[in-house]
Amino acid sequence: MLKKIIALCLVIVMAALCLTACGGKTLTVESVQKAGKLTIGTSPDFPPFESLNNEGKVEGIEIEILELICKELGVTLEIKQMDFDSVLPGVQSGKFDVGVSGISVTPAREKNTLFTTPYCLAAQAIVVTTGSPIASKADLTGKTVSVQTGTTAEEFCMGNGYTVKAFAANADAQSALTVGKVDAWVIDDLTAAEMVAVYNEEHPDAPLVILDEAMTTEPYAFAFKKGGDDLVNKINEILNKLLADGTIAGIFEKYNAPYTAP
């Protein structure tokens, strides 16, 4: 009898552990409203979408969109910071509710991630130093490029057979180019524009150059764990409204970022 009770207790403890550790809870509008907050995982090294301001707070286009979504849901926004390559694994293991990191929707990612409706289109840009012989994508053949680890830029450059140096932090991928460790830096276009503008202001004598030829077209969306359809459907409703009434385009404008609708 005692053995049976102990065995039963063990089963219950294991089940409870698994629920927390595996993030076994399915997200619903109700579960989020009950918790009173929506927790996002983000890599705030990606202006104008998410970056740290002077007070060390995360700000940007995606944070503003998420604030509006939280307002509609009647919950507060909680932000967890991490490297980009931890965002999608964290979504899948249930460490937080949403991946918010300028995440491009790809067929491979859709296999184990539930994406919201896309809210904009982006592209991969090629950045080089002044005087570089690289003038187009074709010139990258046989060259070494820097990218951020776990990004579509990394996947794309490896797929094209370039020699790839990957860095956990975006700023390090940029430095690899400026110190001459790589021939080019491949990064999403709007972030390239912002980071290059900041760099060039400080280095007017040796500015970085963004090539005209973009390499891809990628929709950005917010990432959820599979099974969270109830919540994602509600968020899609909110997003569609913000897209239709021009709110999202307006947020891009506030950040001086050209907006391309999905």
Place of tokens 């619903």: 28
Q: What does the alpha-carbon distance between residue 113 and residue 228 come to, in Å, rounded to a whole number? A: 10
Q: Which of residues 198-257 bind ligand ARG (CB under 6 A)?
A: 218
Which spans in the chain are helix H? 2-21, 29-35, 61-73, 87-92, 107-110, 152-159, 170-178, 189-202, 229-244, 247-254
Regarding 46 and contact with ligand ARG (CB under 6 A), the answer is yes
In order of 27, 136, 150, 174, 198, the CA distances from 195 in angstroms are 35, 20, 19, 9, 5
User: Of 188, 210, 223, 228, which lies in the binding site for ligand ARG, with binding defined by CB under 6 A?
Assistant: 188
* Residue span binding ligand ARG (CB under 6 A) among the ranges 74-82, 135-143, 147-155, 238-246: 147-155
Binding segment for ligand ARG among 10-18, 67-75, 144-152, 209-217 (CB under 6 A)? 144-152
Query: Considering only 130-138, 148-156, 176-184, 203-211, which stretch makes contact with ligand ARG by CB under 6 A?
Result: 148-156
Pick from 86, 117, 146, 170 the residue near ligand ARG by CB under 6 A. 170
Q: How far is CA 214 from CA 51, 91, 179, in A?
A: 23, 29, 23
Show the site string, 78-117: x = touches ligand ARG by CB under 6 A, - = not: ------x----------------xxxx-------------
**Contact of 220 with 122, CB cutoff 8 Å:** yes
Binding residues for ligand ARG, rule: CB under 6 A, are 43, 45-46, 50, 84, 101-104, 148, 151-152, 170, 188, 218
